[in-house]
Structure 1
Amino acid sequence: MPKKSFSELINSPGMPVLVDFYADWCGPCKTMAPILEQVAGQHQGKLKVIKIDVDKHQGVAQQFRVQSIPTLILFHKGQPVWRQAGVVSAAQIGQVVQGANG
């Protein structure tokens, strides 16, 4: 099966997509990993979470002007509706996701 393009990934029908721009060497990114797993579990079926390694996908990171990591961007119907750089709590992300789901 061919890999999906980034555009296809963020255009998930019916649910917002949270993109985590990270790097393996980034300490704060490692702090975010379990938080994102928790969020994905709490919003299963209502949110898709994907991770983009900025070292491997520099073009996508540049396209969305990611200047520091971790950077989270929430897409709804393919459009960015929220972004935050740095470590964010599961509660903060949950509030944003609920707002995006209406």
Structure 2
Amino acid sequence: MKETEAPPTGWYIDLLTDFGVKRIFGSTQKELLNAFLNELFKGCKVICDLVYNQQENNGPARHYRKAIFDVTCTGADGEIFIIEVQRTIQKRFIDRAIFYTASRLHE
């Protein structure tokens, strides 16, 4: 499948999409998502708490870019980090990661 082609539609919810994650791990399933992520990290990180974020994080002025965060997590050591489902290749991934981090610091 080429990068520009849509993935085939199936009978199951795809957990590699924003919709799939929200449908399966919606805000009422916070403990389930926490357990799932901790299992994925296998001890490299331990999530103690997570918060579902608003979908748009607007900058301080109208002309600023918008950031979309999915989940903000708090680790066992107090570390705060963002988890976002990302399925496509991002040409400016480093720029985007820096922008997201700066947005969190700005808050």
TM-score (norm: length of structure 2): 0.25
Q: Which has the higher helix share?
A: 1
Structure possessing the higher radius of gyration over alpha carbons: 2
